[in-house]
């Protein structure tokens, strides 16, 4: 893991939160809350639901802060996973019509192989961008839709007007290619078991 000072700061705040330091936890929320709210908002779409996901997510983060040290992930990765999981739980009970951010998804397709932007200056993000660039356009679009908007296979099929089986294959093959590429790039994401 790189020694990104921002991540190191978040790791320190998590460690203090694990010891019951509410001030540190409040600071953690101020540092990461808006980012995680945005992540959730794209998945659950409605602000009240995103507020619920963020609230539950942060209560989870507080309750499990002492597990973080064993997670060996970057703090933002660990927290994002918690909030995304909560958001996915929430849409399972509420989802009707997904509303897609075409621009974000299209951007991902267009810029997959472009040089880093400020938010992606970490090695992992570089590798991921490059590896996404190795996917064919449809695989990439399918994966992006699922990641950003929490679409299920059938929602993806509906949105992309493709048969369910085709969509499932795109996801599966896309992820497999991604894994191989990330492994070559040496990203921890895809070491063998």
Record the tokens describing residue 91, joined without a space: 């849409």
Among 7, 64, 138, 153, binds other proteins (CB under 8 A): 153
Q: Is 121 or 136 the residue whose CB approaches other proteins more closely?
A: 121
Q: Is 113 or 176 the residue whose CB approaches other proteins more closely?
A: 176
Among 10, 49, 90, 143, binds other proteins (CB under 8 A): 143
* Per CB under 8 A, 86 contacts other proteins: no
* Per CB under 8 A, 144 contacts other proteins: yes
**Residues 117-136 within binding reach of other proteins (CB under 8 A):** 117, 119-120, 122, 124-125, 128
Closest-CA residue to 56 (of 104, 93, 23, 21): 93
* Per CB under 8 A, 21 contacts other proteins: yes
Residue in the block written with tokens 């597990």: 67
Record the tokens describing residue 13, joined without a space: 């705040």
Among 4, 42, 110, 113, binds other proteins (CB under 8 A): 42
**Residues 46-75 within binding reach of other proteins (CB under 8 A):** 50-51, 54-55, 58-59, 62, 66-67, 69-74
Taking a C-beta distance cutoff of 8 angstroms, is the pair 94, 44 a contact?
A: yes
Interatomic CA distance for residues 78 and 15, integer angstroms: 13
Interatomic CA distance for residues 157 and 142, integer angstroms: 9
29: number of Cβ within 10 Å: 17
């Amino acid at each position: 893991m790189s020694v990104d000072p921002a991540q190191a700061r978040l790791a320190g705040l998590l460690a203090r939160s694990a010891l019951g330091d509410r001030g540190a936890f409040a600071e953690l929320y101020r540092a990461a809350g808006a980012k995680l709210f945005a992540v959730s908002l794209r998945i659950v779409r409605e602000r009240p639901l995103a507020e619920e996901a963020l609230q539950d997510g942060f209560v989870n983060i507080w309750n499990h802060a002492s597990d973080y040290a064993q997670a060996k992930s970057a703090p933002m990765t660990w927290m994002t996973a918690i909030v995304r999981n909560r958001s996915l739980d929430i849409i399972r009970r509420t989802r009707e019509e997904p509303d897609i951010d075409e621009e974000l998804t299209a951007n991902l397709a267009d810029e997959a192989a472009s040089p880093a932007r400020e938010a992606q200056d970490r090695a992992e993000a570089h590798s991921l961008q490059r590896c996404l660039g190795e996917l064919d356009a449809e695989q990439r679009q399918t994966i992006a839709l699922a990641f950003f908007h929490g679409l299920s296979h059938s929602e993806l099929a509906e949105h992309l007007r493709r048969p369910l089986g085709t969509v499932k294959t795109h996801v599966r093959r896309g992820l497999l290619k991604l894994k191989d590429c990330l492994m070559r790039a040496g990203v921890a994401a895809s070491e063998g078991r």
